[in-house]
Every structure is written in structure tokens, then in C-alpha cells.
Chain A
């Protein structure tokens, strides 16, 4: 789908003369790699070319980039060179006007949990401008050993299967693991131990603290038929009810989707490896082959900015094209 408009499209999210069609157009653009910004609770979309004109964010307090689903080791028609596309993602990161303070990788780092696959991702990410990378595992990262290798590599300081939290410039980040102990016929799962930890982790935080939760499988019900959801995420969200700003960043579905529910903004990132079909638009959520010239326009990164005093984080998806 080609860019239709060059201008900004301002959409009032508060239902005062809401431009519903404009909002839905935004969502369609997000799927093809256009830009979607949520700032101060108001979604704004930008054409790709104007992103570069945004310039340094003077009011910026904190910016970071979410990447996801690098699937290192995958080599099938949908993308025979996932190293190249991950490198393209790093180039994109390095081309941002404001270097991000760190990266969040929302899982499926590797394709088959092989050591060399993890090694390659680590190697490629070394050339990113942001030197700190925070990970959560995807189901492809915990194959055969219940996540033991993942924990050895990326789980320092984490609890249980690899959950943890940290603070950056007043924003509280929480990494959750929902890809282990999956039950037959079920979705992603957090489990009691992790939920109890989460409750205690946020208990003493002021409700004005911006929260960012990141986990691999969506923490909202995107499309349960394809396993795109988490069985016990509703409980997790009740622990976060008191906060004025909650941003949930997920991966797994290899496309950008966004949903706002009260104080919670849910966002899924594109993959840096291969796209997957939109919910229900294919027989199964497998790797989607697209015409040769398209792949980079539907793979991408997500730039996130937190501006102190603003309600919601600004989330900008950009494609690798």
C-alpha cells in the first residue's frame, strides 16, 4: 500500500468530532509501515519522509527503541536473509535524530534457540547507537530447555523465568515472560508466581509514575484463534489500574497494531525478520511472503518517547524501507 498523504493527519482521540475513518486509516498505515504517533493521548501520523524532519526532541525526557522478532536463523522464502534486515533495523536506529537511550527487544531473538543464533543477534546489535539492550524471551527462545540458555544469556538480575523491572528517568519498566508452561489449547501465560511478583513490584509506586510493560505475546486479546493473547493478562492489568499512564509493548504477531483502553496503550511491533498476516486474513499465522520489493516496508522498529508531564508515551513505528 503506497503512501496516500504527505501531510500530518491529526485525529482527536477524545470522541469530540472524532475522525473515525482517519483513525482507521492510521491503523491500516501502521500495518504497512507508516508512522503512528501517540502523544499526549492524541494520535498523530506522519509520512515516512517527514519523520526525518521531526528533528531532535527538545522536550524529550527519555527515548528508547523497541525491536522485535529478529528470528535469527530463519531462512525461508519469506526472508532468506534475516541478518540483513536486522542490520537494516540497526541502521534505522542509528539514523534517528535523537539516539535512543536503550533498546527493548520483545522476544523471538532466535528462531530455534541455537547458541549461534543468539550470538549473531548480540553481534549485530553491538553496532547500534544504543549500547544497552533489555530483552524478554519469545517462545522461539526457550525451545528444548525451558529457557535455561535464555536465562544464562539475558536473565542476569531477573526473577523466575526472567521477569524484572528497572527505572529510567522516572519511568518504570517491567519485563514479563509469558512464553513458558504453555498449556494445550491455551494462549500465552504469566503464571501465579510472576503475577504475585508484579503486584508487589508496583505496590509502592506513585500512581503518577509512567509504566511501560513489555512482554513477547500480546497482553491483550488480538486474535485468540491464532494464540495471539495471554490467558491471565487481565489480572496483570488490574495491578496497573491505579497508574495514569501505562504502555504495553509486545511482539509475536509481526505487525504493528495499537489499541488504547482508558489509561493503557497497547502496542505491538513489526518484526525485523518477516511479516505475518493480519488477524483472520490467512489460514494460519505463518511467515507471509510478499512481493520482492515489499519486505522492508513491512518490517520495522518502534521509537518511543516519554515526555514528562505528558499523559501517554509517543510511539513512532517506522519501516526499514
Chain B
């Protein structure tokens, strides 16, 4: 008799546990649109930092110019191109497709960077 109860309790607990799991799984499903990833690149001292970045598809990268001189962010394949960024101005781009995106500052072309999207 006790064993049966124990088994019953066990099964019930298991059931609850599974239900609980289910409930948690349900929560995750409800917020399946996880917060989009964002990464920051700082432009300082005529350098993109970090110059090389690897991100997941769907990531938005924001460049912020901290130099006393304007810069731009221009992809060599023209997929993205910022306006001229004066000090503290920003440019953002969301990388939806995988690939390698090399970019540079069109005003100071020695400044280069790269984004690898996986």
C-alpha cells in the first residue's frame, strides 16, 4: 500500500516536474524573439576598435566616433555606408546575412576594419 502511494507520489511529482518543465518551456517559447544582439565599435585615434569583429547574423553594430575629426564607415562592397560622423555621432547597421564585410573610413582610407557574420 505504501509502495503504491509512494509510486503514486513519485509519479505525481514527476508529472508536476514535467508540467513544470513544460511551463518553463512555454515561457521560453513565449519570448522566442530573444533580445537582438548589439555590439559597439569605437572610433578613436584614427582606429576602429575592435577592428575585427565576429558576430551572429542579426546583430546590430553601432560605431561611435570619439575623435576630434570626422570619420565615415564604408563597406568596400557598398553594402553599408555611413554619413560623415562628427565627434560623438553614431552609425548603426544590422548584419542579417552571413559573410565577411570589410570596411574603411573614406576620408582616411588607412583606417580599416572587418566584420565576420556567422
Q: Is A208 an interface residue (CB 8 A)?
A: no
Pick from B24-32, B34-42, B55-63, B106-114 the stretch touching chain A: B106-114
Q: Do A184 and B76 have beta carbons less than 8 Å apart?
A: yes
CB distance from A108 to the nearest CB of B (A): 10
Residues of B within 8 A of A11 (CB): none
Closest chain A residue to B87 by CB distance?
A76
Interface size class of B (residues with CB under 8 A): 20 to 34
CB distance from A274 to the nearest CB of B (A): 9
Closest chain B residue to A144 by CB distance?
B84
Q: Give the complex CA separation of A88 and B103 in angstroms.
A: 40
Q: Is A298 an interface residue (CB 8 A)?
A: no
Contact A283 B109, CB 8 Å, known A76-B87, A144-B84: no
Residues of A within 8 A of B108 (CB): 139, 227
Q: Is B92 an interface residue (CB 8 A)?
A: no
CB distance from A246 to the nearest CB of B (A): 27
Q: Mark A122-147, 1 if CB is under 8 A from B, else 0.
A: 00000000000000000110011000
Residues of A within 8 A of B104 (CB): 184-185
Q: Do B110 and A286 have beta carbons less than 8 Å apart?
A: no
Q: Give the complex CA separation of A101 and B25 in angstroms.
A: 82
Contact A284 B84, CB 8 Å, known A182-B106, A185-B109, A187-B109: no
Residues of B within 8 A of A286 (CB): 45-46, 67-69
Which parts of A213-230 form the interface with B (CB within 8 Å)? Answer: 224-227
Q: Give the complex CA separation of A165 and B90 in angstroms.
A: 40
Q: Is B47 an interface residue (CB 8 A)?
A: yes
Q: Give the complex CA separation of A187 and B67 in angstroms.
A: 20
Q: Give the complex CA separation of A227 and B46 in angstroms.
A: 11
Closest chain B residue to A285 by CB distance?
B46
CB distance from B84 to the nearest CB of A (A): 5
CB distance from A77 to the nearest CB of B (A): 7
Which of the residues B67, B87, B110 comes within 8 Å of A225, measured between beta carbons?
Answer: B110
Q: Do A227 and B109 have beta carbons less than 8 Å apart?
A: yes
Residues of A within 8 A of B110 (CB): 185-187, 224-227
Interface centre among A76, A184, A227, A287 (most CB of B within 10 A): A184
Which parts of A90-146 form the interface with B (CB within 8 Å)? Answer: 111-113, 139-140, 143-144
CB distance from A43 to the nearest CB of B (A): 31
Residues of B within 8 A of A112 (CB): 70, 84, 86
CB distance from A179 to the nearest CB of B (A): 9
Residues of B within 8 A of A182 (CB): 106-107, 109
5 contacts between A and B (CB under 8 A): A113-B84, A182-B107, A183-B109, A284-B67, A287-B69
Closest 10 CB pairs of A and B: A184-B104, A284-B46, A284-B45, A182-B109, A227-B110, A76-B68, A283-B45, A143-B84, A287-B68, A186-B109
